[in-house]
Amino acid sequence: MKSSVRSTVRGTAVACAIALVFAATGCTTTTRQVTDTRPVLRNSAPSTMSELRIADTALESNNFDLATSLYEKAVQADPKSVPGLTGLGNTLYSVGDYTRAGVYYRRASEIDPKATAPLIGIARVAIHQRRFSDAITTYRRVLTLTPNDPLACAGLGAALDLSGEHAHAQALLREALIANPGDPMLSVNLGLSLTLAGDPRQGANVLLDVTRFPAAPPQARQNLALAYGLLGNDDAAAAILSRDLPKSAVQDNLRYYELQREREEKPAKGVAVSTVATPKVQTASAK
């Protein structure tokens, strides 16, 4: 069971974004970084701005050592650098050090309470630590600052799903898609939400619209595999999983789907939230 859950985490997010992200049958949060776009200000040192952009690129390329070095340099030059502190939080988050990442996110948010990037980081950490109510509150705070922000909407949808509020999550994600038509991570999270709520067929239909594009995020494929798995179509699920996972992980996922189907045969409806792994937010949060 533990191995199947771990492999599911590698697959889906909440993201999410779990896209919600879920990374595992969770939520995805998207593949873009949450560091705010930084205009060059009159008093900004060009070298510092350039190094921060290089750090962002390094983080996106998973070059964590270089990213850490550059973000630390920015913070040493300016201890109140919100981009630098947020970048350090993103780097620690990416390597799974959520507690320390939260420290940097909170420090950045205290310096600039209206900066959304550290707030999204705080919410992502809360999801990973299964503090879903805290994540919901923080994502809603982001949406008061930037209404209809797709990243925050995807994250909020993931947090609601992980709390078992599937109908609420779906309503929010559908509304967000009206404001952000075609956003892949919102669609991924909607498809996953439908699947988790006990309607994998409708979830698969939503996810198929995303996965038909060559640049579809991996979470879309993993969540589609989950939907097929819950429908009992193991062949289709295995074919999809094989694109991103080794054979052993594919088999672990298939066993996980079988377990969920057995649970679905019982009176309880939907996939129990306790069985859902938390997202690896890239998310839609970054990672």
Q: DSSP characters for 166-197? A: HHHHHHHHHHHHHHSTT-HHHHHHHHHHHHHT
How far apart CA 124 and CA 118 sit, in angstroms, is 10
Instruction: Give the residue range(s) of CATH 1.25.40.10 domains in the chain.
Output: 48-146
Instruction: Give the pLDDT of residue 3.
Output: 42
Q: Between the CA of residue 127 and those of 3, 75, 161, what are the distances in Å? A: 21, 26, 11
Q: What predicted TM-score, i.e. pTM, was given to this entire model? A: 0.76
Residue 114: half-sphere exposure toward Cβ, Cα within 13 Å: 2
β partners of residue 30: 284
- Which residues, in sequence order, are CB contacts of 98 under 8 Å at separation 6+? 92, 125, 128, 129
pLDDT band at 202 (very low <50, low <70, confident <90, very high): very high
pLDDT of 179 > 60? The answer is yes
Instruction: Indicate the residue type of 8.
Output: T
pLDDT above 90 coverage of the chain, percent: 68
Name the fold adopted by 48-146: 1.25.40
**At residue 283, what are phi and psi to the nearest 5 degrees?**
-130, -160
Taking the C-alpha atoms of residue 181 and residue 52, their distance in angstroms, rounded to an integer, is 31
Residue 11 pLDDT > 80, yes or no?
no
Does residue 236 contact residue 221 with C-beta atoms inside 8 Å? no
Q: Which of 135-139, 193-197, 263-267, 272-276 has the highest mean pLDDT?
A: 135-139
Please choose, from the candidates 256, 171, 67, the residue with its C-alpha nearest in 3D space to the C-alpha of residue 156: 171
Rounded to the nearest 5 degrees, what angle is found at the Cα of 284, between the Cα atoms of 278 and 287?
70
What is d(CA 128, CA 205) in angstroms, rounded to the nearest whole number? Answer: 28
The domain made up of 182-264 has a fold known as 1.25.40
Residue 199 is given by DSSP the state: -
Kindly report which listed range (13-22, 60-69, 119-128, 230-239) carries the lowest average pLDDT score: 13-22
Instruction: DSSP letter for 285, please.
Output: B
Tens of pLDDT, residue by residue over 144-160, are 999 999 999 999 999 99
pLDDT per position as a tens digit, 251-274: 999 999 999 888 877 654 554 433
